[in-house]
Structure 1
Amino acid sequence: MITSIESIWEEFNKPLKSFIQRRIKNDQDVDDILQNVFYKIHSSINSLRDTEKTHAWVYRIARNTIVDFYRAQKYEEGIIELSEDILSETDDESTANDEIAQCVKAMIEYLPESYKQAILLTEFQHLTQKELGERMGLSVSGAKSRVQRARAKLKEMLLGCCQLEFDRLGNVIDYQHKCNDCKFC
């Protein structure tokens, strides 16, 4: 459990900076926003009721601080328009989901051929599992099993490569590579 500002700094400093850099282009602005995030965390640490939810609480503060940054830019300069994409958390989720999807596509190439075909045909060519079974000479239950096994292998590969953070709907909202020499991402 994380309860002190020091432990939050140790845990979140680098991941938060990376999170902000994916949304803000200017390095000086990134540093300013990161400082503002930790100031807000420090100021409101006593309002954190459930230390089990520290991760979500910290990233909510970071998202809100980024939105505040764009609002201030729009107000001060009058040139940046806030779009619904910037304000919505689903944009953040889509970005992480899209980045992870690229890793998964690379991982598919490493699957055994029968699993690779099952995933490609059902997920990318949108065949039903019944159609997959007909095309590959399998029963419907055999086709379902093949797709489930292929998905399980992909999940195992992904979790071996990355640490993922999900929202309550199961969307990827952030991730960290476990190693720098991952052959997939």
Structure 2
Amino acid sequence: METQTIWDNFNEELYFFILKKVKNKDTTNDIFQNTFLKIHKNLFKLEKEEKARAWIFQIARNEIVNYFNEESIYVGKLDINKENSLPEYQHICCFDKFINDLPEIYRQVIELIYIKGQKQKDSAKELEISLENVKARIKRAKDILKKKFNECCKYEFDKNGKLIGESNCSSCNGIIK
């Protein structure tokens, strides 16, 4: 089997597979290009043509993982003092208060992942719980935080669940702490 044959048979399906996973066209183009470079370089390793599709998509999955692993290198660990607001969220009143008011099991996960920049699987090991449990706690914590922001600060959420609008805080009347 030749690279051109693989291209003809799989390029569109492969491109949209990558796009679905990374949700960014520029990143998709980079990963797509790297995938076909690896396919071309390693084509001699493909023993059975009927397994080409599985082989190609495994290369793409590996390239996606490589991309996200490289990206995580550039996210530095944050040294955050709990008493200080995070610069990114200083304009959002009550942010620190809401984090600190979370039940302990949810606050731990939020602090490890979003404040200290730890990966979910590393947080699971540190907390001695399953990765699925970490994900469930993150979801519950986010639901609690969204509810508090909506009740207290009158923020609204867009269709993607992100905070939008200006603060109309019932506890501090919009004064940033």
TM-score (norm 1): 0.41
Q: Which has the larger radius of gyration?
A: 2
